[in-house]
Amino acid sequence: GQQVMQIPQYQHVQEGEDFTTYCNSSTTLSNIQWYKQRPGGHPVFLIQLVKSGEVKKQKRLTFQFGEAKKNSSLHITATQTTDVGTYFCAGPRNNAGNMLTFGGGTRLMVKP
C-alpha cells in the first residue's frame, strides 16, 4: 500500500539554525499537505502544494514539492523557539479525494 515516510524523526537545533524535514511517498501524489502539531496540541494545517516543482513560502518556512510529485520538503530558516513541534506531511490516500496518509512526523526541538 501507499507509504509516506519522513526523515529525520527527531531534530535538535540551536535557535537561529536552519531546519529541514523531508517527505517521500511510494507513489506519485496529486498534492501534498503539511501540518504542525505543537507539544500537547493537535495538528494544524500549514499549506498544500499541488504543482510539480512548486515552491511556497510562509515567512521563514519554505515548502517544496518535487518534480516527480513523490517527495516534498519543509525548510525553516533561522529557527525560533516558537517553531518547536512535530511537522507532518500528508498525501492523498491512493489519490482518493482527501483521504490522507500521514508521514510519521519530524519532531523539532529548539534550544534557546
Partner 1 sequence: DADVTQTPRNRITKTGKRIMLECSQTKGHDRMYWYRQDPGLGLQLIYYSFDVKDINKGEISDGYSVSRQAQAKFSLSLESAIPNQTALYFCATSGLTGEGSYNEQFFGPGTRLTVL
Binding site for partner 1 (CB under 8 A): 6, 9, 33, 41-45, 48, 88, 90, 93, 97-100, 102-105
Q: Which candidate, 15, 50, 30, 38, places its Cα nearest to that of 93?
A: 30
Q: How far is the CB of 94 from partner 1 (least distance, A)?
A: 11
Q: How far apart are CA 89 and CA 23, in angstroms?
A: 6
Looking at beta carbons only, is 10 or 78 nearer to partner 1? 10
Q: Which candidate, 19, 26, 32, places its Cα nearest to that of 86?
A: 19
Looking at beta carbons only, is 55 or 99 nearer to partner 1? 99
